[in-house]
Amino acid sequence: MNKVVCSVHVAVLAFPFGSHAAPLLNVVQEIASKNPRVKFSFLSTKRSNESIFAGIIHHNIKAYNVEDGLPEGYVPSGHPIEPINLFVGVMIQNFKRAMDKALAETHIKFTCLLTDAFLWFAAEMAKEINAKWVPVWTAGPHSLLCHLMTDFIRDQFAADAGNENIDFVPGLPVVKASELPEGIIDDIEQPLSSMLHKMGQTLPKATAVAINSFAELEPPIVNQLESKFRKLLNIGPFTLALPQPNIPDDQGCIEWLNKHDIGSVVYISFGTVIIPPPHELVAIAEAIDESGFPFIWSFRGKHDEQLPKGLLERIKDKGKIVSWSPQVEILKHEAIGVCVTHSGWNSIMECMVGGVPMISRPFFGDQKLNTRMMEGRWGVGVPIQDGVFTKEATLAALKSTMSSDEGMLMRQKISEFKKSAKRAVETNGSFIRDFNTLVEIVTS
């Protein structure tokens, strides 16, 4: 067999936390599968690479490890932001070292830097080597607009703006200052906040900016983004548009769902990072117990230790508690009536693709803003009252979404977004058009 000679070399710089690196790798795999003569050097931390590279078979993608910035003998404090701050503090030189290694091994100069949008410094790196810079924003268009407008927003509000309304950002609906992502008007000196501020200032220099969204979702915001970038590419929703990892259904979730009526099951999941505090976990379980709704709960941690024994035994008869679940497939199942979520952007997109309304309990980052859009702009879900799970608030949200006229209207609205998302990935849809442009930019 003739060996394929690679003549174009793309450095892929991932942000190795949360749900950032895996979607970026999905984008790379789709490009690589169609362009065997293009070499991709994927740069992330060892831990991140080991978690996402299982089953990757494309000969033209190779992972390189970036140092994680943790000091020798590091003992985690338990605060999830701490390792992020340590990584951010030294990431520029660590990425450069990993790139030098990839360059030394391949002897092919980099022609493009395809990066997580967080990594603002790639703009200067690309300029120095006369390469293109294409950042990928894995969250929603509304949060991206806020980061682009950070300086403008800061000029209008003090750090203690609290619940004051923001009604002056073109394209953005009215939101409360407290619903903005952290770092825009508060905690602005933190490493993560500084990184996002610099990102917002630098992204307009990119060759193109790709986002995990579809053009029909939020046209006013898309128009604003298009006016600020050289080129905006809507390449989502990823969960529909790109090949997804095969998550085994080892605990029989789909088989169990097949035995339930349409729209009758509650699905509970808070992603790969978040575990609600103990008293909120108990409140969810108490509400599930009293509501009588069957459920699947993707439970991070040890449910047999975190839930009272008697309560645990009662709810086990009504549903399934699993340590891991094939979320995309679950949310596509007709038996699911609502998703109880933290409102991370991937989960929002997966619910839209599945046509499933949401009950939202946001924690940090863009989740509060996503919740505001979900409720106030799109009408496809409800926030938990006062932002904290109590038995009464959870029961009220379950009844609202599962057994009321309001819930029926939510399902109707989200079914329209489901149709729009599907149109985006069809011939002549926004994904097909913009992804082809992305491939041309990255591989030429």
- Going from N- to C-terminal start, the domains of the chain cover 8-236+425-443, 253-422
- In angstroms, the CA 434 to CA 226 distance is 13
Question: Is residue 54 predicted with pLDDT exceeding 90?
Answer: no
As given in the structure block, the two tokens for residue 317 are 């008869």
Question: Is residue 3 predicted with pLDDT exceeding 60?
Answer: no
- Rg over alpha carbons for the chain, rounded to the nearest Å, is 22
8-236+425-443 shares its CATH topology with 253-422: yes
From 238-252, 265-279, 352-366, the region with the lowest mean pLDDT = 238-252
Pairing of strands 175-176, 165-166: antiparallel
pLDDT at residue 187, as a whole number: 81
Of the CATH numbers 3.40.50.10860, 3.40.50.2000, 3.50.50.60, 2.30.110.10, which one belongs to the domain with range 8-236+425-443?
3.40.50.2000
Is residue 285 within 8 Å of residue 307, measured between CB atoms? Answer: yes
pLDDT at residue 204, as a whole number: 98
- Catalytic residue selected from 20, 142, 333, 342: 20
- Long-range contacts for 86-91 (Cβ within 8 Å, ≥24 apart)? 87/16, 87/17, 87/45, 88/191, 88/192, 88/195, 89/191, 91/66, 91/119, 91/121
pLDDT at residue 362, as a whole number: 97
- In angstroms, the CA 294 to CA 424 distance is 33
Helix (H) or strand (E) holding 113: strand 110-116
Query: How remote is the C-alpha of 195 from its chain's centroid?
Result: 18
Question: Is residue 1 predicted with pLDDT exceeding 50?
Answer: no
pLDDT at residue 163, as a whole number: 72
- For 246, other C-beta atoms within 10 Å of its C-beta total 9
pLDDT in tens, 67-107: 999 988 888 777 778 899 999 999 999 999 999 999 999 99
| Percentage of residues in the chain having pLDDT higher than 90 | 80
- For 110, other C-beta atoms within 10 Å of its C-beta total 21
Question: Is residue 251 predicted with pLDDT exceeding 80?
Answer: yes
- Catalytic residue selected from 9, 68, 116, 197: 116
Residue that is written with structure tokens 């819930």 in the block:
407
pLDDT at residue 17, as a whole number: 93
pLDDT at residue 159, as a whole number: 58
Q: Region 321-337: what's the mean pLDDT?
A: 95
Give how far Cα 134 sits from Cα of 15, 84, 116, 207, 219, Å: 14, 23, 9, 6, 22
Question: Is residue 2 predicted with pLDDT exceeding 60?
Answer: no
DSSP single-letter state for residue 385: G
DSSP single-letter state for residue 138: -
For residue 121, name the pLDDT band (cuts at 50, 70, 90): very high
Question: Is residue 434 predicted with pLDDT exceeding 70?
Answer: yes
42 strand-pairing partners = 12, 63
For residue 368, name the pLDDT band (cuts at 50, 70, 90): very high
**Residue 20 annotated among the catalytic residues of the structure:** yes
For residue 420, name the pLDDT band (cuts at 50, 70, 90): very high
**What is the DSSP secondary-structure string of 241-277?**
HSPPP----TT-HHHHHTTS-TT-EEEE--TTT----
pLDDT in tens, 288-306: 999 999 999 999 889 989 9
Q: Region 376-405: what's the mean pLDDT?
A: 97
Is residue 357 within 8 Å of residue 351, measured between CB atoms? Answer: yes
Of the CATH numbers 3.10.50.30, 3.40.50.2000, 3.30.70.1400, 3.20.20.110, which one belongs to the domain with range 253-422?
3.40.50.2000
For residue 349, name the pLDDT band (cuts at 50, 70, 90): very high
pLDDT in tens, 23-46: 999 999 999 998 999 999 999 999
- In angstroms, the CA 240 to CA 358 distance is 19
Q: Region 237-264: what's the mean pLDDT?
A: 91
From 46-60, 87-101, 313-327, 380-394, the region with the lowest mean pLDDT = 46-60
